[in-house]
Structure formats: structure tokens, C-alpha cells
Amino acid sequence: MADYSKHGGGGISWPSRARLALAISAGKLAGASGRLFRIGGGTSLPGMIARRIDPNVLRSVMAATTASKIVITGSNGKTTTARMTAAIADASGRRVSHNRTGSNLLQGVTSVVVNYADVFGRLDSDLLLFEIDEGTMPVAMPEIQPDVVVVTNIFRDQLDRYGELYSVAKALDKLLERLPETATIVLNGNDPQVASFGQQARAKKLYFGLRTTDIGRPVPEHAADVIRCIRCNEDLVYEVAYLSHLGLYRCPNCGYELPPLDVAATSIQLDPRGDGPTQVTMQTPLGQLELTLPLPGVHNVYNAAAAIAASIAAGFGIEKVPAALSNIRTAFGRLEKIQAGDQTIYLAFVKNPTSFNLVLRLIAQHPGEKHLLLVASNTVVDGEDFAWLWDVDLEEISPQVADVICSGTKAEELAMRLKYAEVPLDRVRVIHEREAALNAALQNAGPGGTLYIMASYTPTQELRRIMQKRGWVKPYWEE
Amino acid sequence: MTNEQGKDTRLVLRIGHLYPQLMSVAADRGNLFAIVKRCKWRGIKTAIDQIFVKQTPDFTQYDLILFHGGADREMEVAARDLQAKAPSLREAAEANTVFLAVCAGYQLLGHSYKPFEGPELKGVGILDLHTEGGSTRFMTHIAIECEFPECGKQVLVGYENHSGRTYLGPGAQPLGRVLAGWGNNGKDGYEGAVYKNVFGTYLHGPVLPKNPWFTDLLITRALARRYGQVELPPLDDSTEQEAHAAAFKLAMAFKGTVSAIDATPWRERLSPGSASRSL
């Protein structure tokens, strides 16, 4: 086994080829049975099985392909940015392979090649698109050797897994330094930390972001993570903050400021009801774009800017961007609107204060009282430490709350959080069992009513599986 | 319904919230919420001052001072700034002001903090302890047993996430005995530190909402400074007790693990959807 890792790609020996073929076949079989038995379709299982048989499976397939490789990482927005990039590539006539369900740990990333390659490890794609968890980057990057790396943003996320914010950022920056000069790094210029990446890198850099005073707040909100200067630790001064610590910033002490943006949203009109499309003017090195984004919220403007920058870096041009982005649909669980008989469900996967607060702010703009189902569970993918619930501004929605069902292994913590956000106790109920919780919440919403679900990753999948059985949604791997 | 405003008692609790943005890494603002709401529900007003870098208020004016956690980088900024605040903070501690210091805040109330890499940081020296950075991080659920004259033996639950190893000198008492988790240094079986009304702990969670007995102890001692002994009317704590019980169960289930994430059974890594852990 030890000599196995020495194989780079090129002249793969016969025993190695046989092992690779076995690994890919077994992975494909595992994915197929997973779908057959409806336990989750080909998201991480194929990659996991294949890696057990051949730990080099991803490295071998990557070394052999001539397709361009885009990696998208960061705390928030990976899945939607990847979907938008895929849509642009697809509209531009590229054949795309992509871990589109957001299974972004090493197994999920490996599943992409297992699912798309033939048993000889050959890929019939022009573009390989990988969404990768920031903590998985150190192991995934050397195996993939990407041409383009997009960093969407770095928020406080899963401290229980990665220790602290700066160690994640430092590790990521180190990886970017190792990229060759033929590669391109696409960075969020509005994120003071991300914008500082790659100073020592040989690769080209492209910055994306927002540059407008149409929207935003004068100072970053409380849950903002990086509001001190990356270089000298002085408090940054913001002309405007768009989302947490993302904005137009400058250090009054050392002069560090946001870099010139290559792809910039310079005019933004958000839907005042938080539910409809956004009108965006986007400046790019290849010309100006007028876009209608069907997905609401400022975060989706970031996702679009990142996807456009990635597309430019990968050489797709921008001609097909408006059409591709006008048809984009929400990824599963991203404030996904679901018709459940005569009732409407908004399903939001929330994993950190930033994403939770975004969703709360959007739905606070929807008219009327809110019926909520909140679900949090501690599992390996959701994390163990749910302290961050106290950084969620539930106070902003508590006056609108008609009733709440709390579920998941962290249901008691959620109920307590709501109590301290001054949601009256008689409006809050804890129901651990997932289906019973959904039923009770739908009953609360009443005939023709609307239910808002905010859930961590595992419960989002569990709830979606229930809705799938009821015919309200398609399986997420078919989305 | 307990979460309504209580009848006005004309009591005011003065709170100093130290570095509310700089040191706020693990949503510890929940501690402030717990104090404010449990006062409000009993008709006790709270007046909160946010205290930032470069400000040097008279800390003896506060009944209660909160000082929370931050990453090493923030800690450096705080440590440098603290030296100007230190004399007044020490005076407040000697004058029986209540302190709740969590994680990095706890470490900085000690004599010094030596990170695993980088230069040593000087603390305030209110708590007789020093901290050294370790190579591994304790990231897991924790439960400790405390004993105070007001409330007898009680359990604190929370989550710890620190690489620092803290060693107490003779001038500080431990806050509690570790039932599950690692505590100060993972060796001596103790967690946190107490000196007069100064409480330091590694417990995040945040610590106060799930441990209402501890919140009430802090409020009572903080009020006693200016109002003498005040009997706090009991609240309906059933929601808090359920959260406490759930956290205690978790701490016991993860006993002995350095990182709760790594300890989660491998089967759940396979497919998050298929091996769900529904209760």
C-alpha cells in the first residue's frame, strides 16, 4: 500500500489500473444501491467506498484529465456559487461534472469522479467543478491541482471542528501560495481577510464584490467576524457594510483597504418583500452586465459575482451569463419554496449565525405572522457546539412569531434561546420526532398557510426525505 | 408565563461589558442576555456599558463585569489594552464587584498567557493563575460540580474549546470539579477559578442560560454590593432545566473524548442522511 501513493498519474501500472477500475466500479455500485434504497443518492458513499479500495482514485483521475478544474471554497455560498458557475459553463457549451448536492468533504468530492468517470478513470467533461469544505482543502487541493480557486468568504463557522477562524484562514492562504502561475485565485474583495490572501502567490488574482451605496449598513453588525485590520489590528473603518464584515473598508492606521474589484456589482435593487428577484448591474473586465437574479437577498449577488469571476477565470466569456443566471433555481434547502398541498413551505438550511441571520432578515420582510419549525441536531456534519445560536438575532423576528415547533437533538437549547428572545413560552413547543414535528408545524400554519423551516444540515435532509415521500419535492440528488 | 416583565423593584444592576465586539467569539453575549432577562423578569433594571479598547472607565462603579473569549489575535489586542485598565479592574475586584470571565477573558484575568507559538501575554493578575498554550485543543462537552454557601452542590454544563492549560496558584480556588470534559489543564481534575466575587471559567455554551442557578448567584452577589442581601423571586425554569439536562447527558456521553467531533461514530460520516441520530 505504501508505494501506492507514489503514483502520480501518467504511466499507471496494470495492477494500479485494475485497482482504480475496481474502486470506481464499487463506488458506482454503492451509489446506485444508495439511490435504489433511497438512503441518499451518490453524494458521499461512492467516494468513500472508492477511496477505501484505492486511496489514489481522485489523484489518478485528476492527473489524467485535460478538463479545467474549478474549486469553490469558503464558509457560505459555496453550493449556490457552484450551481451558478455550472449554469454559465453549461450555457457556454461546456460539459460539466459537479458535486452539485453540496456533499463537500473528501468523500463527496471523490464521488464526483466516481460518478462521472468510466471504469478506466476517463472523464468525458470539459469542466470539473468542486465545492469543497474549507477544512477539507488541505487534503483535497494537492489531489485536484485546480486551475481556478474561488474563496467566497470566511465567516465564523464550526469552531468546534476547526478551532478558530484564523487557523482556517491561515491554512487556506498557505494552499493558495502553492498554486502555479497558470492558475487563478478568485477572491471576495469585500472580505478584509479573504482579500488579503495570496499576497505571496504566483497565481493570478481576480477580485469580486459589491461597490455601491444602494444597500448596506454604516457599520458591521454584531456577529461580524473580522473588523480589525489584517495587517496592524487597528479597527477597520467601513464606508458601508453589506453583510456581516463584508463591505467597503479601510484601515485608518496603515491604509490597508479593499483592492480594486475586477467583477463588481455597482447597482443593486433588492425585492422589498424579500421574496422576489434582484436587479443587478455588474461591471466585469469583459464589459457590463445587466442581470435579473431570481434568487432573493444580497448573498445571492455575491454568489453571482463569484460565479461570473470564476467563469471569466476559466475562459467561458460573459455572453451567456444573463440567460444562465436568469434561470437559476435555489439549491435544496436554500430558502427553497415548496408547495405542500395548499400550504407553502420555505425550507432554509442554516449552519452559522450569518446564514441564519440572512434568512431571518429575508423572511421578516414577508408580510404577516410567522409559523416556524426550527431544527438543530448535533452530528458530525452539523457540529457539536451550538453556542452560535446565541449569535442569531432571533429578537428581530420574535414580535412576528405566531408559533414555533423546536425539534432535533438541540430542541431544548432552541426553545431556551427563543425564551430569551422573548417569544412567549406558550407559543413554543418541543417535539423531538421529526415527522411529528413537521405535522404539528403544518397544523399550526393552518389551511393555505405558510411554514418557515430553519434547520441544520442533517435535519434539512431528514425533513426533505419526508417531503419527498409525500411527493412535495424531488430527491435532492435529482435536483 | 415567566418571560414577562416583573413588578418594578427599583433595583438597578450596573453591568460593564468588556470588549463586546473584540472578545465575542463563541456567542458568549448569551451570558448578557441571561443576566438581563432574568433581572427583567423580576423587575430589576439593568444598565449596560460597553467598554472598548482605549477606554479607561472607573470599574468600581459596576456591580458586574463580563469579559468573554476571543481568538489569539484578538487576545493580543485585548492584552495590550488591558494594562491601562488593570489598576481599576483590580480595585473593582477587591471591592467585591462580580466578574464573569470566560475562556480568553478568564486567561487574561490571570498573571500571564503563553501561547503555543508567539510571545507571552501579560494578564491583569486578579486571579492567581497562569496559562500555557498546548499542542492539542480540548473541544468537547463539559460538566463540573460546584459548591457555594448560597446554593450547595450544583452542576455547571457547557462546551469547552481551548488549547490553553491553566494552573492555579494558592490565591485562587477552582470553580468546580470536572465530572466530564477536561477543565483547566486536563490533569488536576478542576475547572475555572474563583477569587472573592471573580469567577473565571472555560465553559462556553454560553454558560449562563443553561445554568440558571449560576446566573442567579451572580445577580444576587452583584446586587448585594449596593443593596445588601436581596431575595430573588423564583422563576419558572423548566425550559432551562430541560436544556441543562440535555447538555449534561451529552457531557456524560462524550466523557473522555478530546474532540467531540472526532468522537462521533464513523457511521454518521458515511451519509449524514442515512444514519441520522433522531431522538
pLDDT digits (tens, 9 = 90+) for A412-465: 999 999 999 999 999 999 999 999 999 999 999 999 999 999 999 889 989 999
The pLDDT value recorded for residue B169 is 97
pLDDT band per the 50, 70, 90 thresholds, residue A17: confident
Output the domain CATH number for residue A439. 3.90.190.20
**d(C-alpha B157, C-alpha B168), whole Å:** 21
Q: Are residues B191 and B203 in contact, defined by beta-carbon separation less than 8 angstroms?
A: yes
| Vertex A204 angle, CA A199 and A208, to 5° | 85
Assess whether A296 and A343 both reside in one domain.
no
Half-sphere exposure of B128 (CA within 13 A, CB side): 9
Query: How many helices (H) and strands (E) in chain A?
Result: 15, 17
Is residue A379 pLDDT above 80, yes or no? no
> A380 vs chain B: nearest CA distance in angstroms?
6
Is residue A38 a part of any domain in this protein? no
Assess whether A141 and A227 both reside in one domain.
yes
Assess whether A307 and A375 both reside in one domain.
no
Please indicate whether residue B58 or residue A25 has the higher confidence score (pLDDT): B58
**d(C-alpha A188, C-alpha A186), whole Å:** 7
- Summarised one tens digit per residue, pLDDT across range B18-65 is 999 888 877 889 999 999 999 999 999 999 999 998 899 999 999 999
Residues 6+ apart with CB under 8 A from A345: A337, A338, A339, A442, A450, A451, A452, A453, A467, A472
The pLDDT value recorded for residue B3 is 58
Ramachandran area for residue B70 (φ above 0: left; ψ -120 to 50: alpha; else beta): beta
Assess whether A92 and A198 both reside in one domain.
yes
Grid cell listed for A74: 469558503
Q: Which residues of chain B have a CB within 8 Å of the CB of A160? A: 139, 159, 161, 259-261
Strand bridging mode B112-114 / B129-148: parallel
| pLDDT mean across residues, chain A | 88
Query: How many helices (H) and strands (E) in chain B?
Result: 8, 12
Assess whether A136 and A198 both reside in one domain.
yes
**d(C-alpha B206, C-alpha A390), whole Å:** 8
Q: Are residues A296 and A72 in contact, defined by beta-carbon separation less than 8 angstroms?
A: no
Q: Are residues A20 and A60 in contact, defined by beta-carbon separation less than 8 angstroms?
A: yes
**d(C-alpha B151, C-alpha B213), whole Å:** 8
A366 DSSP 8-state letter = S
The partner residue sitting opposite B77, judged by closest CB among A163, A233, A383, is A233
Please indicate whether residue B73 or residue A201 has the higher confidence score (pLDDT): A201
The pLDDT value recorded for residue B266 is 36
The pLDDT value recorded for residue A1 is 35
Assess whether A186 and A229 both reside in one domain.
yes
Q: Are residues A318 and A282 in contact, defined by beta-carbon separation less than 8 angstroms?
A: no
Is residue A36 a part of any domain in this protein? no
Question: Which range, A150-164, A299-313, A371-385, is most confident?
Answer: A299-313
Assess whether A185 and A79 both reside in one domain.
yes
Q: Which of A228, A153, A138, A231 is nearest to A194 (CA)?
A: A153
Residue environment code for A83-104, b if the CB has 16+ CB neighbours within 10 A, otherwise e: bbbbbbbbbbebebbbbbbbbb
Question: Which range, A108-112, A232-236, A412-416, is most confident?
Answer: A412-416
Q: Is B273–A39 a contact, with Cβ atoms under 8 angstroms apart?
A: yes
Assess whether A319 and A346 both reside in one domain.
no
Q: Are residues B240 and B30 in contact, defined by beta-carbon separation less than 8 angstroms?
A: no
Q: What is the pTM of this model?
A: 0.82
Average pLDDT of span A37-43: 57
| Residue numbers of the domain that contains A405 | 336-478
Grid cell listed for A41: 443518492
The pLDDT value recorded for residue A42 is 52
Delimit the domains of chain B by residue range.
Answer: 12-270
The partner residue sitting opposite B246, judged by closest CB among A166, A412, A458, is A412
Is residue A58 a part of any domain in this protein? no
**d(C-alpha A281, C-alpha B157), whole Å:** 51
**d(C-alpha B134, C-alpha B138), whole Å:** 9
Interface residue of A390, A427, A462 to substitute, partner B, most B CBs within 10 Å? A390
Assess whether A313 and A416 both reside in one domain.
no
- Summarised one tens digit per residue, pLDDT across range A146-162 is 999 999 998 866 555 55
Residue environment code for A196-232, b if the CB has 16+ CB neighbours within 10 A, otherwise e: bbbeebebebbbbbbbbeebbeeebbebbbbbbbbee
Domain end position, chosen among A326, A347, A364: A326
Q: Are residues A293 and A312 in contact, defined by beta-carbon separation less than 8 angstroms?
A: no
Assess whether A317 and A340 both reside in one domain.
no
Enumerate the β-bridge partners of residue A454.
Answer: A348, A374
Assess whether A94 and A193 both reside in one domain.
yes
Give the count of domains, chain A: 2
Shortest CA distance from B35: residue in chain A? A420
pLDDT band per the 50, 70, 90 thresholds, residue A351: confident
- The yes-or-no answer on residue A385 being catalytic is yes
B116 DSSP 8-state letter = S
Assess whether A245 and A166 both reside in one domain.
yes
Q: Which helix (H) or strand (E) holds B179?
A: strand B176-180
The answer to whether B25 contacts chain A (CB < 8 Å) is: yes
Q: Which of A361, A335, A332, A368 is nearest to A479 (CA)?
A: A332
Q: Which residues of chain A have a CB within 8 Å of the CB of B24? A: 222
ipTM: 0.92
- Summarised one tens digit per residue, pLDDT across range B253-274 is 989 888 876 655 433 333 333 2
Output the CA–CA distances (angstroms, integers) from residue B60 to B20, B57, B64, B123, B216, in the order listed.
19, 9, 9, 19, 21
- When the candidates are 3.10.580.10, 3.40.50.880, 3.40.640.10, 3.30.2040.10, the CATH number that belongs to B12-270 is 3.40.50.880
Identify the residue whose cell numbers are 465586539.
B21
Domain end position, chosen among A326, A346, A379: A326
Residues 6+ apart with CB under 8 A from B35: B13, B15, B46, B64, B66, B208, B215, B218, B219
Is residue A477 pLDDT above 80, yes or no? no
Grid cell listed for A379: 452530528
Domain end position, chosen among A297, A326, A355: A326
Catalytic residue annotation of B: 103, 204
The three-state secondary structure class of A87 is helix
- Summarised one tens digit per residue, pLDDT across range B183-236 is 999 999 999 999 999 999 999 989 999 999 999 999 999 999 999 999 999 999
The partner residue sitting opposite A458, judged by closest CB among B76, B270, B276, is B276
User: Which of the residues A385, A391, A403, A426 is marked catalytic?
Assistant: A385
Is residue B158 pLDDT above 80, yes or no? yes
- Summarised one tens digit per residue, pLDDT across range A237-254 is 899 999 888 999 999 999
Output the domain CATH number for residue A230. 3.40.1190.10
